[in-house]
Amino acid sequence: MKISRVVVVGSGTMGSGIAQVVAQSGYQVKMEDINDSLLSQAQQRIEKSLDKLVEKKKISAKEKEDTLSRIKPSTSLDVVKDADLIIEAVPEKPDLKAGIFEQVDKLAPSHAILASNTSSLPITAIAAVTKRPEQVVGMHFMNPVPVMKGVELIRGRVTSQETIDLAVEFVRSINKIPGVAQDYAGFISSRIFNAYLNEAAYTVMNGNTPKDVDDIMVNSINVPMGPCAAMDLVGIDTIVYILEILEDEFGPRFKAAPLLKQMMRAGHLGRKSGRGFYEY
Ligand SMILES: NC(=O)c1ccc[n+]([C@@H]2O[C@H](COP(=O)([O-])OP(=O)(O)OC[C@H]3O[C@@H](n4cnc5c(N)ncnc54)[C@H](O)[C@@H]3O)[C@@H](O)[C@H]2O)c1
Q: Is the CB of 143 under 6 A from ligand 1?
A: yes
Q: Is position 276 within any domain?
A: no
Q: Is the CB of 89 under 6 A from ligand 1?
A: yes
CA–centroid distance, residue 135 to ligand 1 (Å): 21
166 and 56, same domain (yes or no): yes
Which pLDDT score is estimated for 25? Answer: 97
Q: Is position 131 within any domain?
A: yes
Contact 70, 27 (CB under 8 A): yes
Contact 141, 189 (CB under 8 A): no
- Positions of E strands within the chain: 5-9, 28-32, 71-74, 85-88, 113-116, 136-141, 150-155, 177-182
**Closest residue (by CA) to atom 8 of ligand 1?**
119
Q: Report the interhelical angle of 227-234 vs 210-220 (nearest 10°).
A: 110
Which pLDDT score is estimated for 238? Answer: 87
**Closest residue (by CA) to atom 4 of ligand 1?**
143
Portion of the chain with pLDDT greater than 90, in percent: 96
pLDDT at 257 over 90: yes
Minimal CA–CA distance to 65: which of 43, 47, 49? 47
44 and 133, same domain (yes or no): yes
259 and 147, same domain (yes or no): no
CA–centroid distance, residue 163 to ligand 1 (Å): 23
13 and 107, same domain (yes or no): yes
132 and 16, same domain (yes or no): yes
87 and 222, same domain (yes or no): no
Q: Strand pairing of 5-9 and 28-32?
A: parallel
User: How does residue 76 score in pLDDT terms, banded at 50, 70 and 90?
Assistant: very high
Which pLDDT score is estimated for 92? Answer: 86
pTM over the 0.85 mark: yes
Domain boundary among 182, 214, 233: 182
- Report the alpha-carbon distance of residue 79 to residue 74 in Å, rounded: 7
- Domain harbouring 257, CATH code: 1.10.1040.10
109 and 143, same domain (yes or no): yes
Q: Is position 221 within any domain?
A: yes
Q: Provide the number of structural domains found in the chain.
A: 2
Domain boundary among 157, 182, 207: 182
Domain boundary among 148, 163, 182: 182
